């Protein structure tokens, strides 16, 4: 079996797609399959048991994307199955060349690129479900919508990490329900919570973009810090909103800290040193950061209408469009009785979705694609 994995980012880059492709490539290689990964980046090292072709971004977006497309075209001829891990960067050339060369095409979707691009640029500030139900997707990016529709319809199998994406791609993109497979994101190994002393830290880790709703978090935390001097807010990451967030954070003094993105080992150390993980985006799909925090025993506050692998109670969810709802949820955690109840709840959460299960399910999808 020869399998081509196409992705925008790959190890050692940080992010859900990078981790997924690495784990899947490693597992496929243990099955004796010939695996090739095509990704952007300049890292020179490759996996011992599979090939990695990296396309440098140094030449600019257009040239690097053309080089990426050429690499996907060349490798598509040499492989039995094409598996793309995003809708546009990898999805468009993979869908095109799978059609030209008549190769099985599998697509994993971790989010929604159309909505994300619109809200990331500040053109809209609205959760994803409302965005589609109001028909805004056809008004804002009609060309991108048609490209994404081509990609998802071309796929023989569409893999999603959360249930509400299935409804979206059936209703608004015309994908057959039979083509869609749910594989939820895995939990790391479970461990007891380490309790923070003297301070109470709310922790966020992710990209600094507008739909992550961090401006609202800083606004709400200003009031919280006045009432609870021991409360702290730590934001880990990078992105286009970084400078603006740092300027706002500077006005709040030492209670707020913004940290550059870190590797997974350091992130786990930060989680252990915190009290509550935050996932405040306008729409949260299935945050790996939150799954990691829960596995380390830490309560998490997350936007309502999310796709998380764990079912969290209403007390740990909030309306991402409401300052009052977010503040109420954060202040509830600062109450010792409620916080210890949340710790107990998290300790009892079922976390049996493991990487072994996930990669085995992906392998079975590939096997079925060539039968």
Sequence-separated (6 or more) residues with CB below 8 Å from residue 366: 1, 3, 28, 81, 83, 106
Give 6-23 pLDDT, tens digit per residue: 999 887 776 778 889 999
C-alpha dist (Å) from residue 208 to 240, 280, 330: 6, 12, 20
State residue 74's pLDDT score: 96
Give 114-125 pLDDT, tens digit per residue: 999 999 888 999
CB–CB of 233/218 below 8 Å? Answer: yes
State residue 340's pLDDT score: 96
Mean pLDDT of the chain: 93
State residue 227's pLDDT score: 95
State residue 14's pLDDT score: 66
What percentage of the chain exceeds 90 in pLDDT? 79
As a whole number, mean pLDDT of residues 286-302 equals: 95
- Total-model pTM: 0.89
Longest distance between any two alpha carbons in the chain, whole Å: 63
Q: State how far the Cα of 302 lies from the Cα of 299, in Å rounded to an integer.
A: 10
State residue 11's pLDDT score: 79
Closest to 298 (Cα-Cα) out of 275, 324, 329, 268: 275
CB–CB of 81/103 below 8 Å? Answer: yes
C-alpha dist (Å) from residue 66 to 8, 60, 228, 327, 363: 13, 10, 53, 46, 29
Question: Is the predicted pLDDT of residue 140 greater than 90, yes or no?
Answer: yes
Q: Do 200-348 and 2-186+354-369 fall under one CATH topology?
A: yes
Question: Is the predicted pLDDT of residue 338 greater than 90, yes or no?
Answer: yes
Give 144-192 pLDDT, tens digit per residue: 999 999 999 999 999 999 988 999 999 999 999 999 999 999 998 888 8
Q: Phi and psi at residue 40, in whole multiples of 5°?
A: -85, 150
State residue 13's pLDDT score: 72
Token pair listed for 340? 């210890």
Give 85-114 pLDDT, tens digit per residue: 999 999 999 999 999 999 999 999 988 989
Sign of CA dihedral 260, 192, 183, 286: negative
State residue 60's pLDDT score: 85
CATH architecture of 2-186+354-369: 3-Layer(aba) Sandwich (3.40)
State residue 68's pLDDT score: 93
Sequence spans of domains, the chain: 2-186+354-369, 200-348
Domain covering 200-348 in this structure, CATH number: 3.40.50.2000
Bridge partners of residue 36, in order along the sequence? 4, 51
Helix axes 242-250, 214-227, angle to 10 degrees: 10
Compute the C-alpha angle 209/41/234, nearest 5°: 35
Token pair listed for 305? 């209408």
DSSP secondary structure string, 93-130? HHHHHHHHTT--EEEE-SS-HHHHHHHHTTS----HHH
Bridge partners of residue 277, in order along the sequence? 203, 300
């Amino acid at each position: 079996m020869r399998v081509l994995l196409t992705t925008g980012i790959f190890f050692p880059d940080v992010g859900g797609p990078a981790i997924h492709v690495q784990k899947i490539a490693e597992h496929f290689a243990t099955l004796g399959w010939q695996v090739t990964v095509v990704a952007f980046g300049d890292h020179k090292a490759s996996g011992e048991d599979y090939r990695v072709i990296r396309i440098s971004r140094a030449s600019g977006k257009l040239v690097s994307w053309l080089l990426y497309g050429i690499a996907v075209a060349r490798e598509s001829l040499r492989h039995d199955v094409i598996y793309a891990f995003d809708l546009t960067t990898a999805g468009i050339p993979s869908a095109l060349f799978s059609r030209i060369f008549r190769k099985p095409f599998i697509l994993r979707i971790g989010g929604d690129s159309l909505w994300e691009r619109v809200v990331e640029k500040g053109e809209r500030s609205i959760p994803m479900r409302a965005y589609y139900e109001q028909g805004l997707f056809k008004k804002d990016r009609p060309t991108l919508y048609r490209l994404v529709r081509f990609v998802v319809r071309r796929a023989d199998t569409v893999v999603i990490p959360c249930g509400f994406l299935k409804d979206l791609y059936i209703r608004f993109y015309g994908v057959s329900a039979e083509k869609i497979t749910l594989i939820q994101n895995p939990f790391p190994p479970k461990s007891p919570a380490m309790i923070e002393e003297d301070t109470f830290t709310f922790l966020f880790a992710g990209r600094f973009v507008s739909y992550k709703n961090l401006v609202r978090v800083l606004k709400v935390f200003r009031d919280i810090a006045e009432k609870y001097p021991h409360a702290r807010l730590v934001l880990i990451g990078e992105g286009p909103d970084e400078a603006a967030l740092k300027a706002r954070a500077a006005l709040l003094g030492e209670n707020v800290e913004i940290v550059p993105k870190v590797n997974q080992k350091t992130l786990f150390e930060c989680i252990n040193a915190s009290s509550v993980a935050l996932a405040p985006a306008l729409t949260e799909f299935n945050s790996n950061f939150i799954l990691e925090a829960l596995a380390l025993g830490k309560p998490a506050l997350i936007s309502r209408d999310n796709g998380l692998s764990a079912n969290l109670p209403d007390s740990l969810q909030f309306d991402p469009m409401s300052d009052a709802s977010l503040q109420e949820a954060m202040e509830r955690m600062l109450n010792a009785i409620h916080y210890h109840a949340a710790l107990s709840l998290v300790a009892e959460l079922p976390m049996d979705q493991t990487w072994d299960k996930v990669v085995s399910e992906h392998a079975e999808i590939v096997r079925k694609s060539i039968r």
